[in-house]
Every structure is written in C-alpha cells, then in structure tokens.
C-alpha cells in the first residue's frame, strides 16, 4: 500500500505517516488506532508486543457468576476483545492420548474447558492439569500438548485473528 493510499484510508496526512515511518514522529494512541484499522491489523501488532500473553487458569470455583431473570445461570470464564474468528470444538480425549500440536497461525489462542475426567493441556513445558469444571486459556501459536491418562471430555474454543488481507 502506498503512503498516499494509507493516509487516505486512515484519515491522516502523508506528512504524519512519513514522520512515523522515519521514526521521528510521536504518534498518539488514536493515530496508531487509525493506522491499525486502515491496515486491518490489531493495534497490538503496531505496538510490537514481543512476549506472548501468559496462560490463564480458571478453576471450577472461579469465574464471575451471573443469572438472568428467566433462570439462565452461568459463569464468565474469559472475555477477550480482539477481532477474531472463533471455532468451538467438543472433544473426547481417550485414555492414554498424548497429542502434541504444532503452533497455529500467529495470534491464535485456545480456551479449553474440562467437562469430565482429567486433562493436562497447554504450551509444551507449561501444561496445566485440569479437572472437571476447570479451564485454561493459552496462546496456541506455540507448540502445545493435550494429554489424558485416564480420558477426558473437553470443550475447546479456538480464536484466530482475521487475515491481514481481509477486505471490509
């Protein structure tokens, strides 16, 4: 994309973008937000976050409970606001399964909820033991592992960042 096309799409001047590109500008968060939107990127990719996010373990006794007047009850396990595509997978892990997954696309994350049995899951070397009712969120753009000595049933929610070249 040319500087002019980016300036037009972001609603910014070419001079501002040129200073940022040269490393002499000091853009505000709002300016970076406009650039990220114009490039169809998450803001974090412009901020240069080097470290993957830490894993988050949610035990069955944790999570914000809620109830509606109609009787629907639940607990908020995880809320994340990046733009993404989501896949929900009901998974049965047979006894003795030891699955090693290669990294998924950059920005991919998994939320694994153990529904029954026990399961060890997470980035390789940092796996977490889950029992029925526990959950873990982790960056899945790292090698990761699923292991169940005696079997488990789980719900897996995979979140993928949108492709950069997606057309709005």
pLDDT in tens, 43-93: 666 766 556 667 778 777 776 676 656 564 656 665 555 556 777 788 888
CB atoms within 10 A of CB 60: 14
Quickly state the pLDDT bin for 166 (edges 50, 70, 90). very low
Q: Per residue in 125-162, is it b (16+ CB within 10 Å) or e — as a string?
A: eebbebeebbbbbbbbbbebbbbbeeebbbebbbbbbe
pLDDT, tens only, 2-45: 889 999 999 999 999 988 888 888 888 778 878 888 887 766 66
* pLDDT value, residue 48: 60
**What is the pLDDT averaged over residues 108-134?**
94
The residue count for the chain: 168
Quickly state the pLDDT bin for 158 (edges 50, 70, 90). confident
Tell me, yes or no, whether 166 lies in a domain.
no
- Asked whether the beta carbons of 71 and 145 are under 8 A apart, the reply is no
CATH code of the domain in which 41 resides: 1.10.260.40
- Asked whether the beta carbons of 148 and 117 are under 8 A apart, the reply is yes
Which residue segment(s) compose the domain that 20 sits in? 3-47
- Asked whether the beta carbons of 101 and 146 are under 8 A apart, the reply is yes
Q: Say if residue 14 is in the same domain as residue 76.
A: no
CATH code of the domain in which 78 resides: 2.60.120.10
């Amino acid at each position: 994309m040319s500087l002019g096309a980016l300036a037009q799409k972001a609603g910014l001047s070419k001079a501002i973008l040129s200073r940022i590109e040269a490393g002499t500008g000091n853009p505000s968060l709002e300016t970076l937000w406009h650039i990220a939107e114009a490039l169809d990127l998450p803001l974090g990719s412009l901020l240069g976050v080097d470290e993957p996010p830490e894993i988050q373990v949610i035990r069955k006794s944790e999570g914000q409970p809620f109830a509606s007047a109609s009787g629907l009850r639940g607990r908020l396990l995880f809320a994340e606001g990046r733009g993404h595509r989501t896949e929900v997978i009901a998974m049965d892990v047979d006894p003795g399964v030891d699955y090693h997954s290669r990294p998924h696309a950059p920005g991919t994350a998994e939320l694994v909820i153990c529904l029954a049995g026990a399961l060890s899951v997470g980035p390789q070397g940092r796996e977490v033991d889950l029992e029925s009712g526990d959950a873990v969120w982790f960056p899945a753009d790292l090698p990761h592992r699923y292991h169940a000595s005696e079997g488990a049933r789980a719900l897996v929610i995979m979140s993928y960042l949108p492709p950069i070249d997606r057309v709005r």
